[in-house]
Amino acid sequence: MALISTQNDRTDLPLVVMPSIIESMVQPFREALPLLHDIARVRIYDDATLDGDVIVDRCADADAVMVIGFHVDDSMFDRLSDHVRCFSFGGTGVASYIDLSRARERGIAVTNVVRYGDHAVAEHTFALIMELSRRVGRLDAIVKSGRWDGLDGISLYGRTLGLIGFGGIAQAVADMATGFGMSTLVWNSHLHEEAVAAHHVTAVDDLGELLHRSDVASIHLPLTDSTTGIITADHLERLRPGTIVVNTARAEVIEPGALTRRLLRGDLLAGLDVFDHEPLPLDDPLRSVPGIVLTPHVAWRDDEAYRALSVQIVRAIAAFFTGSAFNRVV
């Protein structure tokens, strides 16, 4: 572990700490740090620890904390809230990682980042769809093991894609689906006619109907108070056997336990990048369900997204300490 720090002699400036970071994000953050010159000192620990005690120790004298990859659970929040004035979260669905109501009660600012990785997540969504339909990863393993029997694929051409939510990520997925010759249905509580026309999709008023008509159903809802648990077990019952289900959004938008129970019946295919508990516990039943592909919440991770995310986090902190607001959630 190496420590990256800036303006160490400026003890008059507030301190910003990033207690954990993945290696590939270090350089994009280095490039963004000049935005905090004469505004705040920065201390970055360049390892990706998830140890809560280590994270708290590293943030012991921080005025602001950059949160990437770890959850600020209640214990950590209580231990940091007496001196941290701002949490800057490196993602959009901040409610999954920081208790926003507690932050409001304590007067602690929370920021997030937006539209930083729309194409990254959209591409990962299609990577999951392609793995489930063409099974390239499994075919690679078969050939390398010395076999030549192969596996059958599932055509996407002419099939129906159902998108739950229609923000920037879903719109990018819709455009990709057009290239595959798919037709696209969309359900969203606030759907703009201009977006429907621009992306050549068909709006569906009923979520259950969309799920029933879809050959591939992909979830792209942000996590808010109104979307938590919005997809129910009854909705999932409308899925036809053989449907591909993809979630690169948030697990919490589905009724707790409902998706696992539906997948355990073994008649669906699924690609999941997000889970109720992360990291996914070793005894989670999803690990043993056939016909599903699991990835460790990495849909957002690519080089372009890292650069956009880094700049937004640093800009949000600069705005906080200079008395303005940027991507402010609380």
Tell me which residues are annotated as active site: 250, 278, 297
> In the numeric block, which tokens belong to residue 74?
């209640």
Phi, psi of 212 (to 5 degrees): -70, -35
Number of Cβ atoms within 10 Å of the Cβ of 99 = 16
Ranges of beta strands (E only) in 54-154 are: 64-67, 86-89, 109-111
Q: For helices 168-179 and 118-134, what crossing angle results, to 10°?
A: 40
Residues whose CB is less than 8 angstroms from the CB of residue 130 and which lie 6 or more positions away in sequence, other chains included: 136
Per DSSP, the three-state class of 92 is coil
Cα–Cα distance measured from residue 29 to residue 232, given in angstroms and rounded to the nearest whole number: 39
Q: 54: which strand partners?
A: none
